[in-house]
Amino acid sequence: MTIDTNAGGPQHPEPSLRRDEAAAGDARSAPTGTGSRFTRLLGLALIIGGAAVAWLAFVATPPDVVQGESVRLLYVHVPSVSVAYMACMLTTVASAVWLRRRTEWWDLVASSSAEVGAVFTAVTLLSGMVWGQATWGTPWEWDARLTSTLFLFLLLLGYLGLRGATEDRTARGRRSAIVGLLLVPNVIVVNQSVNWWRSLHQDATLFRTDGDFRIEGLQLFTWVFATVVAIGFFVWLLVHRFRVGWLADRAEDRAIDEALAVRRAEGGTGGAP
Amino acid sequence: MLADAWLIAAKDLRLEWRSRVTLAQIAPFAVLVLVLFGFALDPDRGLLAAATPGLYWVAVLFASVLAVQRAFAVESTESSRDILLLSGVVPSGVFLGKALAISVQLLALEVLLLGGVAVFYGATLRGWLLLAVTVLSATAGIAAAGSLYGVLATGLRVRDTLVPLLMLPVLAPVLLGATRAFEAALEDTPADGWPWAGLLVLFALAYLGAGVAAYGSLLEET
Amino acid sequence: MTMWGYVALGWAITAVVLVSYVAALLWRGRRLIEQVPEGERRWL
């Protein structure tokens, strides 16, 4: 443990977990990446779980009575859409909490969840298009769920764009919290209005078969298990993304401190620049 | 709050009157969009007549992006925001004033574009009451959401490209509702259009409320 | 394309997107952590 010699600025108390890790034989004094023992264990479990999902989806489960082989696509599509909506909800909730508490923690939770959510929304849209092409014969239908998922993706891109562009951290927190708070309401408004619009056209009901087929037994288990693995994967990504965001803020603080120190050394007096 | 809103709106409209950016640049742009749709869709095939309500509102939305950017370009310097705050104007007043000024400019633009679709697309304007309610409520919604999302990008280098990305997905329901209501009015079946006009009113009220609530938090930036 | 082709395509797209995101995320973390002094690096 080399940190203990660095007694000059112990601003952050050393967490107890590190000691356990050191005792367990982990010789490194400080992490060199965003992984920790928790995420490594979770990652290992997820690799095993992911392999199990693939085996269940491709080998163990029979083709669906109505859907045929294309049901195997839904074992990735449906869990990813669940996680995408969950992430979007978490962004809105964390933004709301940030507006009350104003802590970096909630700001980072909201933004990390938004980025991970955008990835899962992209996966949802792409795998959904493949499934649509396979079963409907068209990758896109103007139905409320598809359209509002696309708008969710666009809204998340706007949120991330705003965050990426705002350099001042206080302003970044305030502005992105407003956009994050309005994220779920906006998706609901889009969903409702498209729903209303499409329900005026009778042809929209042509594709209502996708919710009709019954799932049971091993298919249902595969579905539930795949969703659990996807949620675990979301947690893993969220923790890593949170740490990347935290590190980015620390690195920025440091860059500013260094620039100030250089300025002060040049100016001599240490007055305001 | 309302007195402050009036003050801000009067200031913005006075600035606009002096610079004439909306009149001399945004309005011609919107008419140009209408004409370009004419080139793209070939007036002889009857597509333009069928698509008139949608094209009209797409042109309005594009113009509204420019109007919102213009409204916040005026305030983009740090000092003008400080002056606004120091002068004791309440944040919700700033929001309502901005939205009001944008609404007034958009309404002028929409009247012009109505003339445009009548002339270029040969549209027969009917169902005036529904048209008027739709125009007013859609404009209020666009201006309110635009004022809220427009202020978020002030002072950023990528402001010009970020504002449409933030604003347009949010305004998609307005485009949907206003287009359906216009269709109903032009086809002389206003009963089909009133529910959509109701949606537009709700959208406008929701975003007016959201803006009033959010501006307090946004303008405390130093 | 056969049904199995679509199934394979859908899974492949999902895997490629997620694996690339994981790789990018871990790479970003490793690059950023070098700029933070050792004493401040801590994970719960």
Give me the interface pTM, i.e. the ipTM.
Answer: 0.94
CB B183 within 8 A of CB B172: no
CB contact, 8 Å: C44 with chain A? yes
Burial of A270 (0-12, 13-18, 19+ CB in 10 A): exposed
The answer to whether A and C touch (≥3 CB pairs < 8 Å) is yes
Residue of B nearest to A96 (CA): B214
Residues of B with CB under 8 A from a CB of A: 148-149, 152-153, 155-158, 162, 165-166, 169-170, 172-173, 176-177, 180, 195, 199, 203, 206, 210, 214, 217-218, 220-222
Residues B171-193 have pLDDT tens digits of 999 999 999 999 999 998 888 89
List the one residue out of A46, A16, A47, A91 whose CA is nearest residue C43: A16
Instruction: Kindly determine whether residue A158 and residue B217, on different chains, have CB atoms separated by under 8 Å.
Output: no
Structural domain includes residue A267: no
Axis crossing angle, helix A71-101 with helix C3-33, rounded to the nearest 10? 30
Contacts of B195 in chain A (CB under 8 A): 196
Instruction: Kindly determine whether residue C28 and residue A244, on different chains, have CB atoms separated by under 8 Å.
Output: yes
Tell me how many residue pairs between chain A and chain C have CB atoms under 8 A apart: 120
Contacts of A190 in chain B (CB under 8 A): 169, 172-173
Q: What is the mean pLDDT of residues B71-91?
A: 71
Task: Tell whether the model's pLDDT for residue A268 goes beyond 50.
Answer: yes
Distance (Å, whole) CA B204 – CA C22: 41
Give the pTM.
0.88
- Note the Cα B33 to chain centre separation in Å: 16
List the one residue out of A82, A57, A58 whose CA is nearest residue A233: A82
Residue of A nearest to C16 (CA): A123
What percent of chain A stands above pLDDT 70?
81
Amino acid letter at A104? E
Distance (Å, whole) CA B125 – CA A205: 33
Distance (Å, whole) CA B68 – CA B151: 9
Any chains having at least 3 CB pairs less than 8 A from chain C are A
Question: Which stretch of DSSP H or E encloses residue B82?
Answer: helix B78-86
Closest-CA distance, A7 to chain B, in angstroms, reads 36
Residue of C nearest to A255 (CA): C35
Residue of B nearest to A175 (CA): B152
Of A76, A133, A254, the CB nearest to C36: A254
- Give the pLDDT of residue B34: 94
CB contact, 8 Å: A199 with chain B? no
- 3-state helix/strand/coil string of A115-165: HHHHHHHHHHHHHHHHHHHHHCCCCCCCCHHHHHHHHHHHHHHHHHHHHHH
Structural domain includes residue A161: yes
Closest-CA distance, A200 to chain C, in angstroms, reads 32
Distance (Å, whole) CA A203 – CA A193: 17
Provide DSSP, A163-190.
HHH--SHHHHHHHHHHHHHTHHHHHHHH
Average pLDDT, rounded, for chain B: 90
Residue of C nearest to A122 (CA): C17
How far lies A199's CA from each of A148, A193, A208, A213, in Å?
A: 15, 10, 12, 22
Burial of B55 (0-12, 13-18, 19+ CB in 10 A): buried
Task: Tell whether the model's pLDDT for residue B218 goes beyond 60.
Answer: yes
Instruction: Kindly determine whether residue A178 and residue B166, on different chains, have CB atoms separated by under 8 Å.
Output: no
Residue of C nearest to A135 (CA): C3
Q: Token digits for B178?
A: 């206003």
Structural domain includes residue A29: no
β-bridge mates for residue A68, sequence order: A64
Instruction: Kindly determine whether residue A12 and residue C42, on different chains, have CB atoms separated by under 8 Å.
Output: yes
- Note the Cα A191 to chain centre separation in Å: 21
Q: What is the mean pLDDT of residues C8-21?
A: 96
Instruction: Kindly determine whether residue C41 and residue A31, on different chains, have CB atoms separated by under 8 Å.
Output: yes
Any chains having at least 3 CB pairs less than 8 A from chain A are B, C
- Give the pLDDT of residue B63: 96
Instruction: Kindly determine whether residue A162 and residue B210, on different chains, have CB atoms separated by under 8 Å.
Output: no
Instruction: Kindly determine whether residue B218 and residue A174, on different chains, have CB atoms separated by under 8 Å.
Output: yes
Backbone angles phi, psi at B220, to 5 degrees: -80, 0
Instruction: Kindly determine whether residue A123 and residue C17, on different chains, have CB atoms separated by under 8 Å.
Output: yes
The answer to whether C and B touch (≥3 CB pairs < 8 Å) is no
Amino acid letter at B133? V
Distance (Å, whole) CA A198 – CA A45: 43
Task: Tell whether the model's pLDDT for residue A204 goes beyond 60.
Answer: no
Structural domain includes residue A241: yes
Task: Tell whether the model's pLDDT for residue A180 goes beyond 60.
Answer: yes
pLDDT bracket for residue A241 (50, 70, 90): very high
Residues B118-173 have pLDDT tens digits of 999 988 898 899 999 999 999 999 999 999 999 898 888 888 899 999 999 999 99
- Unique residue bearing structure tokens 């240490």: A270
Instruction: Kindly determine whether residue A31 and residue C40, on different chains, have CB atoms separated by under 8 Å.
Output: no
CB contact, 8 Å: C43 with chain A? yes
Task: Tell whether the model's pLDDT for residue A208 goes beyond 50.
Answer: no
* Counted domains in chain B: 1
**Among A10-14, A72-76, A96-100, B110-114, where is mean pLDDT lowest?**
A10-14
Instruction: Kindly determine whether residue A165 and residue B152, on different chains, have CB atoms separated by under 8 Å.
Output: no
Residues A190-200 have pLDDT tens digits of 999 998 888 76
- Unique residue bearing structure tokens 């298009």: A129
- Give the pLDDT of residue A2: 35
Count CA atoms closer than 13 A to B8's CA, side-chain side: 31
CB A177 within 8 A of CB A93: no
Distance (Å, whole) CA A106 – CA A157: 19
Distance (Å, whole) CA B106 – CA B109: 5
Distance (Å, whole) CA A231 – CA A79: 8
Task: Tell whether the model's pLDDT for residue A4 goes beyond 50.
Answer: no
Structural domain includes residue A168: yes
Question: Which stretch of DSSP H or E encloses residue A235?
Answer: helix A217-267
Among A6, A236, A246, A252, the strongest candidate for a mutation testing the C interface, having the largest count of C CBs within 10 A, is: A246
Backbone angles phi, psi at A64, to 5 degrees: -70, 150
For A106, the domain range is: 72-206+216-248
Q: What is the mean pLDDT of residues B43-60?
A: 90
Amino acid letter at B167? M
* Counted domains in chain A: 1
Of A161, A193, A194, the CB nearest to B165: A161
Any chains having at least 3 CB pairs less than 8 A from chain B are A
